Amino acid sequence: MLAKELDSTEYDIESPEKLRKLYKRVLFVVSLSQIFGGAGLAAGVTVGALLAQQMLGTDAYAGIPSALLTFGSAGAALIVGRLSQRYGRRTGLSTGFMVGGLGAIGVVVAAMMNSVILLFASLLIYGSGTATNLQARYAGTDLADKKQRAKAISTTMMMTTFGAVAGPNLVGIMGDFAVSIGVPALAGPFILGAAAFSLAGLVLFIMLRPDPLEIAKRIAIFKQANGHEKKTDSLNKGSNKSGLMVGATVMVLTQIVMVAVMTMTPVHMKHHGHSLSDVGIVIGFHIGAMYLPSLVTGILVDKIGRTAMSIASGVTLLFASLLAAFAPGDSMILLVIALSLLGLGWNFGLISGTAQIVDSTEPSTRAKTQGTLDVCVALAGASGGALSGMVVASTSYTILSLSGGLLSLVLIPVVIWYRWNKHHEGLI
């Protein structure tokens, strides 16, 4: 009986009560994995640029680790999406986290050997964990109805907060631990990253059964076969391309702005005399703001709409960029506020954009499409990370932040155009 309950092909999809219980179970399992995943991704965000700066001896290429991490994330998003589409979320997500753990181990070895080539290669692989951490948010939506999707996304993202906030604040402790075993201090957080990503993968591999995406596919086939599809479905499917475009645009622009400003903030702080612990505190608040408001954001996205929250994202990112640009470099409080607003704006954009994408996809192609779009998001982050160091080296952190603010404004006309276009077609 238990084996039948865990088998996606045998699970009783005609029982609403069982499906509700399965939906809650999937959210719990994915949320548990996200706690570990959040701790894993925090390592690269917090000390990646500082490690590169130390090994390369220049600020000009301090943004390269972020770029490599996100390029690796782009490739992994594509692979994880296709693995999930073909073999289910369990296989795709657990594999992605395990590979990310291997990348973190590689970074530690690279730091010990002072090998820049190995560092760069390992950061590419480490990006798999970052991509999987984001891909996992989709797993919670597979069995959710349209009015629950943003809340499901936000629930899994909120659980990331526990690990993501703890990670940066363990920088000092992990640095001391690393030194005690003969490893460079800045590689310490990657030891935590290796363990965290591996645990996230194990949780999903062992507990994510039956597979939610496989169940969602069966439900879609069952509804179609039994005439439960609405007459408007063909019309809605025809509008998917514009919905996907807007959802992707929102996520891409928020990712560029967030990654660019976030990447160079630790370097900016070090230049103004802040300690590694200070950097950890600021990044901890930033990552907390990226994930902690998620539950409220999800409810707002479901209640007041994707468009309104996308506009809120652009406005919040603008204020964050302006504050980062003009705050004194030695002011911890203003930097904490600026980076917190940066994280909040990203949170608004990611959840509203993701909900728009889920609305615009069908189970038969959902994971593959989501993976492809996450490639665009990752490449956007890579561009922001790679260019951020060069912009700061040739101009200043202020110019970088102002550029981010200007870019965030592009969100507003894009989503207003989409809303007007849908209204004009009589679909809203």
Q: In the structure encoding, which two tokens stand for residue 17, read together?
A: 């009560």
Instruction: For residue 298, give the nearest of 156, 161, 154, 148 by alpha carbon.
Output: 154
Gap between the Cα atoms of 254 and 316, Å rounded: 10
Tokens 């996200």 identify what position? 34
Distance (Å) of CA 34 to CA 75, 156, 344? 20, 7, 18
Residues 6 or more apart whose Cβ sits within 8 Å of residue 73: 127, 128, 130, 131, 134, 378, 381, 382
Q: What is the pLDDT of residue 235?
A: 42
Q: Is-cis flag, bond preceding 210, omega within 30?
A: yes
**Torsion sign across C-alpha atoms 161, 163, 169, 171:** negative
Q: 340: helix, coil or strand?
A: helix
Q: What is the pLDDT of residue 234?
A: 45
What does the DSSP assignment read for 176-213? HHHHHTT--GGGHHHHHHHHHHHHHHHHHHHH--S-HH
Query: Architecture of 17-220+231-424 per CATH?
Result: Up-down Bundle (1.20)
Gap between the Cα atoms of 27 and 424, Å rounded: 37
Gap between the Cα atoms of 44 and 382, Å rounded: 13
Distance (Å) of CA 80 to CA 93, 96, 174, 388? 6, 6, 30, 28
For the chain, the domains span: 17-220+231-424
**CA geometry: angle 238, 241, 243, nearest 5 deg:** 100
Q: What is the pLDDT of residue 6?
A: 59
Q: In the structure encoding, which two tokens stand for residue 151, read together?
A: 């809340």
Q: In the structure encoding, which two tokens stand for residue 186, read together?
A: 């800045």
Helix (H) or strand (E) holding 374, with range, is helix 366-394
Q: What is the pLDDT of residue 1?
A: 45
| Residuewise pLDDT in 10s, the chain (428 residues) | 444 555 556 677 778 888 888 999 999 999 999 999 988 887 666 677 778 778 877 676 766 777 788 788 889 989 999 999 999 999 999 999 999 999 999 999 999 998 888 999 999 999 999 889 888 988 888 888 878 888 888 888 888 878 777 777 787 888 899 999 999 988 888 999 999 999 999 999 999 989 999 998 888 888 777 765 554 454 444 446 778 888 999 999 999 999 999 988 888 888 888 887 888 889 889 988 988 898 899 999 989 988 899 999 999 999 999 999 999 988 899 999 999 999 999 999 999 999 999 888 888 788 888 888 888 887 887 788 778 888 988 999 999 999 999 999 888 888 887 777 765 555 44
Q: What is the pLDDT of residue 239?
A: 44
Tokens 């994280």 identify what position? 343
Q: What is the pLDDT of residue 287?
A: 81
